[in-house]
Amino acid sequence: MNEHLEVKVPAEREVKVKGPQATQTITTEAGSRIYSWTYSNLQRVKESQPDLEKETETTLRRHPPPDVQISSFHSWEEVGRWYWNLQKARVEPTAAVRAKAAELTNGMTDDDAKLRALYSFVSTQYRYIGIAFGIGRYQPHAADDVLSNNYGD
């Protein structure tokens, strides 16, 4: 059994690649950089019924960490900045959101009671909807949209 993985990126795109160097080749063609890995004579692993105490070991065997990792991000800090820019304007409460929070906590002076009231409302009145395509897989709905639609992320 053979396996071949090929990742093609624009030549000018800087990427971080982590994978087995012994089987990696890098080529360039028509404005693209191509990273590829080839494995030959692979053996199929037969799985047996795991004992309960070996569950973690079996899970790792079934779902080992990836052999190849690739990212255009260079640090977790860079990922954080990217995500912050996607969501910062959307988490800011609008006047309508502030008014609903005030209505739900009207007359309460204890912060814990306010938090419980807000949590109870959100957890029972709103559905989580995640659509994993396009920018919507990363960027949350705006707070005001969540309030008016009774769903969001």
pLDDT of 10 > 90? The answer is yes
Helix H or strand E encompassing 93: none
Model confidence pLDDT, tens digit, residues 18-70? 888 778 899 999 999 999 998 877 666 665 555 555 566 666 666 677 888 99
**Most confidently modeled of 1-15, 40-54, 130-144?**
1-15
Distance CA 123, CA 120 (A): 5
Q: How confident is the model at residue 115, as a pLDDT?
A: 96
d(CA 38, CA 49): 31
% of residues, the chain, pLDDT over 90: 52
pLDDT of residue 137: 86
**Tell me, what's the pLDDT at 97?**
95
The pLDDT score that the predictor gives to residue 104 is: 97
**What pTM did the predictor assign?**
0.59
Beta bridge pairs of residue 115: none
Sheet with 3-10, edge to edge strand ranges: 3-10, 32-39, 24-29
Whether residue 119 is predicted with pLDDT greater than 90 in this model: the reply is: yes
CA 66 distance to own-chain centroid: 16
Share the mean pLDDT of the chain.
86
Q: According to the model, what pLDDT value does residue 66 have?
A: 80
**Model pLDDT for residues 61-111, shown as the tens digit of each residue:** 666 778 889 999 989 999 999 999 999 999 889 999 999 999 999 999 999
